[in-house]
Chains A and B, each alone.
Chain A
């Protein structure tokens, strides 16, 4: 992220006067306090900051005068705030465009103010196009302005090369098909000139008549037949190319780091695998069948027209661009807009229906049926009106548009008939000529529509390749080793933030001995989940190191590391399939006996056997045919099947009722024996078996020790535990009172 914009020469002087010779950071402050867009700059020097407007310093202060600098996001804008001896003040106002930038700046100001080392690990990409320098749309890496379309198509081509043989066959079929359809008008001429209306002095010839008829039949049947073959071949090629791309994208996504995957919306990733590849399939199919075919027809029909009679050919071709343009205007300018509006109204009515019908109980409960009927009536008549309008325009424009396409033929007939009367042309030639003329207009119109969907497909190609080209952030180095974990975990001076300007963990140091159970305690947002994500190495630390048995986890092969760590999360996710499949997920080659043992340890065995289908029970989507506690126990069985040396429990029992929790606690106690365990829990009673507790507060370790030690210290842990006890007590008392 660019934190050092270049100041215009005339402002540089003022800036230096305000903050000193060395300007460390300089970012735009693009909004005045009153809400005007401006080109102000916010400048940070070694000890002072300054706000510049047109080369004039509006405000400047010493950085150390205040602390707790932070960006406060408002609605549609943000302010940079500071705190001077308990009094807050606004340094500058900014548009949302620079909000993230000011996140870094606030962090820098805080570090300077407290005379700390400035910690900026700047690996967030500035969304700027590498070629044109223009701002990129956040979340994309494609600049629509300077995307190289040819390069994109080339990459598609390289993937398609594997199917070049089938493609070549398809191409041959297309050429044959176009040759056959070009022969149609020739046979028509033959038929007219030699049999129906022979030129003066010749008598009609029966063999020629039969030849003409047979030729036309051949054109008809052959053309259709080849059309079918062509369609089949090209559908196969395009589907295979799309399948290859899907496979590539999917494989890449699986290998990418969690950091990238969580930064993308799940829907976006789904889209790349499904609709983007589908769009490319369409492109390939359209290009390979319709486009090539239309082009061949266009070129050969024009050649034939010109060689038959170049003057007449000109008359036919001259209005073609105009016709094509009109055609495009009618469809794009008028009809599409109308259809779009109709769909919008339809969508609105549809979502209204969906809303009301799924909430029908509420409608009935509040007795609002009448009101809903009136509202639907309104949507319904709006939709009807829109449909009528569209259909009305369509019924007028569709014939006009068809007429336009056939205009060439009228012109040919007009001039051709004159030529026949002057004996410059035979009837057969005219028939042939008008046949070719009719073939011209279709392809031209079609080609006018082509650019839009080609460019849409190219965007898809680029989006797909941007994933395929993405490099995982967490990578195995060449010196990575397989390491059989014994169970010591050491954090040494660990700093980490998802965005590097916001460290979530700060200077974390601790050591866990093999087999020890550690409870992680703290308010939400204190960094507990982040800490365990680092143990699994879903992210790499920004500073410091994490060691397992004394080996830096960056030197342990990721797959091998994670296969030895069992994880149970609050939100269990079970895949479709049987209970057996799900437990076996962590170790696909586990024997039945091992699965039974894992289930038994997890207290799941008994409930599974109560089910009519036992271990063969098929789970519905995310196991919705099981209760929360049952799902959780399956997750525990899945985690322990692999006999992991390190077990991570992230709020594993938080969503369960007390009875179920007790059952699972019992299971967990068995499971955690002799394994290094890191457990997060809000309900502190869950952690009563923990050997030691680590209390995190705002990303730092606040307290560490056994339950008794921490209670004696009367710090954060003590407060948390008293608060929870009081709440439980209040609840019990309330329950007792209500009974009395």
Chain B
């Protein structure tokens, strides 16, 4: 199973069939799978006549494409099944699953870098993000500020909170200069 450059799903070719047999990945299809949002804001999934309560949705490619190859897993990290692409599912299910992905992968997007001050091995950031104004501290070195793709920057603060600059190109010169020191 491969992905082409646009991120769309390609069906396995003949030569890959051996791998697929060995891997035995269970793909979920809209036909026999129903996702239910519980009152307690958790996700249950019904596959055939089997109900799995309290499952989480994991992304295979959280930085490059969050809509393909999603893995539905129990709290014990056992895979219930995989979803090839959200597009295969009806609109409501897509929204529900996207919400679950947002819940699991929380990384506010930095919309504007206000200041970055580097001092004594830590940098002190202040930025406007998609989840409001954030001030956070990042340990210098040790891969806490790293490029996930050539244009996408991940910043992990000292507590483990994650922030994303989705497109470095879109930063102003001034903003870029501020964060460059930390990269």
Interface set of A (CB-CB < 8 Å, partner B): 31, 33, 35-38, 72, 74-77, 79, 81-82, 84, 86-90, 93, 95-97, 99, 135, 137-139, 142, 144, 337, 340-341, 344, 455-456, 459
With a CB–CB cut-off of 8 A, which chain B residues contact A74? 56, 103-106
Pairs A-B, 8 closest by C-beta atoms = A89-B40, A76-B162, A77-B106, A96-B160, A76-B106, A88-B54, A37-B132, A96-B159
- Whether the pair A76, B62 counts as a contact (CB closer than 8 A) is no
Whether B132 pairs with A90 at a CB distance below 8 angstroms is: no
Q: How far is the CA of A35 from the CA of B157 in the complex (A)?
A: 17
**A87 to chain B: which residues have CB within 8 Å?**
38, 40, 42, 53
Complex CA–CA separation, A72 to B113 (angstroms) = 30
Docked-complex contact B139 and A137, CB < 8 angstroms: yes
- A88 surroundings in chain B (CB, below 8 A): 38, 40, 42, 53-54, 75
Q: Is the CB of A72 within 8 A of B75?
A: yes
Which residues of A have CB within 8 Å of B130? Answer: 35
Interface pair A459/B121, CB less than 8 Å apart: yes
Interface majority SS on B: helix, strand, loop or mixed? loop
Complex-state Cα separation, A38 to B108, whole angstroms? 13
How near does chain A come to B110, taking the closest CB pair, in angstroms?
A: 13
Report whether B122 and A144 are in contact in the complex, using a CB–CB cutoff of 8 Å: yes
B53 near A99 with CB under 8 A, answer: no
* 8 Å CB contact of B161 from A96, A144, A340: A96
* Identity of the chain A residue whose Cβ is nearest the Cβ of B41 in the assembled complex: A90
A97 pairs with B159, CB closer than 8 A: yes
Nearest-CB distance from B44 to chain A (Å)? 9
> Chain A: interface secondary structure?
mixed
CB contacts under 8 Å to A, within B154-182, are: 157-162, 180-181
From 111 to 146 in chain B, residues with beta carbon under 8 angstroms from any chain A beta carbon are 119-122, 130-134, 137, 139
Q: How far is the CA of A84 from the CA of B104 in the complex (A)?
A: 22
Given contacts A36-B131, A96-B160, contact A75 B106 (CB under 8 A): yes
Whether B134 contacts A37 by the Cβ 8 Å rule is yes
- Total contacting residues, chain B, CB less than 8 A: 37
Residues of B near any A CB (own CB < 8 A): 38-42, 53-54, 56, 62, 75, 102-108, 119-122, 130-134, 137, 139, 157-162, 180-181, 183
Q: Are A144 and B160 in contact (CB under 8 A)?
A: no
With CB as the reference atom, state the residue of chain B lying closest to A147: B120
Q: Which residue on A lies nearest to B137, using beta carbons?
A: A137
Q: Which residues of B contact A142 (CB under 8 A)?
A: 120
* 12 A-B pairs with C-beta separation under 8 A: A37-B131, A72-B75, A74-B106, A75-B162, A93-B103, A95-B159, A96-B157, A96-B161, A137-B158, A144-B119, A144-B120, A337-B181
Give A89 to B157 CA distance when docked, in angstroms: 28
A-chain residues with CB within 8 Å of residue B42 when the two chains form the complex: 81, 87-90
In the bound complex, how far is the Cα of B122 from the Cα of A138, in angstroms? 11
Q: Using Cβ atoms and an 8 Å threshold, which residues of chain B touch A76?
A: 105-107, 160-162
By beta carbon, the residue of chain B nearest A340 is B181
Question: Does A138 contact B53, Cβ atoms closer than 8 Å?
Answer: no
Q: Can you add 4 more A-B contacts, CB < 8 Å, to A77-B106, A90-B41, A99-B160?
A: A76-B162, A79-B103, A88-B40, A89-B40
Complex: A662 Cα to B100 Cα, angstroms = 52
Is there contact, CB below 8 Å, between A138 and B158? yes
CA distance A337 to B177 in the complex (A): 10
Cα separation A75 to B41 with both chains bound (whole Å) = 18
Min distance, Cβ A54 to any Cβ of chain B, angstroms = 15
The residues of B that contact A75 with a CB separation of less than 8 Å are 62, 104-107, 162
B contact residues around A35 at 8 Å (CB): 102-103, 106, 108, 130-131
Question: Do A137 and B131 touch (CB < 8 A)?
Answer: no
Closest to A455 in B: B120
